[in-house]
Amino acid sequence: MNGWRQRGTTTVEFAFIGATALIVLFAAIEVGRALFVVNALNESTRRGARMAAVCPLNDPAIAEVALFNTPGGGSASPVIGGLTAANVLVEYLGANGDPTGTFNNIRFVRVRIVDFQHQMLIPFASYIFTAPPSATTLPRESLGIPRDGTVQAC
């Protein structure tokens, strides 16, 4: 008679262990995806700063390229879900690193990703975190105006 009482025990134990194993597996995959997103955000700032150094001030192409699009390619990233032009902040800095709006005083450009939130897709544990700050600062170059003085679009 003891065999009848223990009949479904293995199935119940497997359900608990199997569910726990799947949650741990999905959590590991999501941590890898989160690391990819953080690295892609760093690459995004690098791309944007490179464009900001050679494009006219506040050109919309800067944010579009930072989002992994081509100039004119839209304001949403095809690589990072939820990343939009609203998350891309372009700053023009003077020699001491303070923001400046005067063309002749600009010595550096900085592109930052701000207020980006990433959602982890772990079963039974939905978690949204704000991405750590990422920024790239580069020395200015032409800022869209070559030596002949004509403004060039990006």
Show the domain range for 33: 7-139
CA–CA distance, 81 with 70 (Å, rounded to integer): 17
CA–CA distance, 14 with 105 (Å, rounded to integer): 68
Give domain status of residue 26, yes or no: yes
Please give the tally of structural domains in the chain: 1
Give domain status of residue 153, yes or no: no
Give domain status of residue 144, yes or no: no
CA–CA distance, 116 with 71 (Å, rounded to integer): 22
The answer to whether 103 and 57 are in contact (CB under 8 A) is yes
53 phi/psi in degrees, rounded to 5: -70, -25
pLDDT tens by residue, the chain, 154 residues = 555 667 788 889 999 999 999 989 999 999 999 999 999 999 999 999 999 999 999 999 999 999 999 999 999 999 999 999 999 999 999 999 999 988 899 999 999 999 999 998 887 777 899 999 999 999 999 888 877 767 777 7
Instruction: Return the DSSP state at 76.
Output: B
The answer to whether 80 and 92 are in contact (CB under 8 A) is no
Give domain status of residue 59, yes or no: yes
Give domain status of residue 154, yes or no: no
Give domain status of residue 148, yes or no: no
The answer to whether 87 and 37 are in contact (CB under 8 A) is no
Q: Is the pTM of this model over 0.95?
A: no
CA–CA distance, 144 with 124 (Å, rounded to integer): 50
Give domain status of residue 93, yes or no: yes
CA distances to 45, 138, 153 from 95, in Å: 20, 12, 25
Return the pLDDT at 34: 93
Give domain status of residue 2, yes or no: no
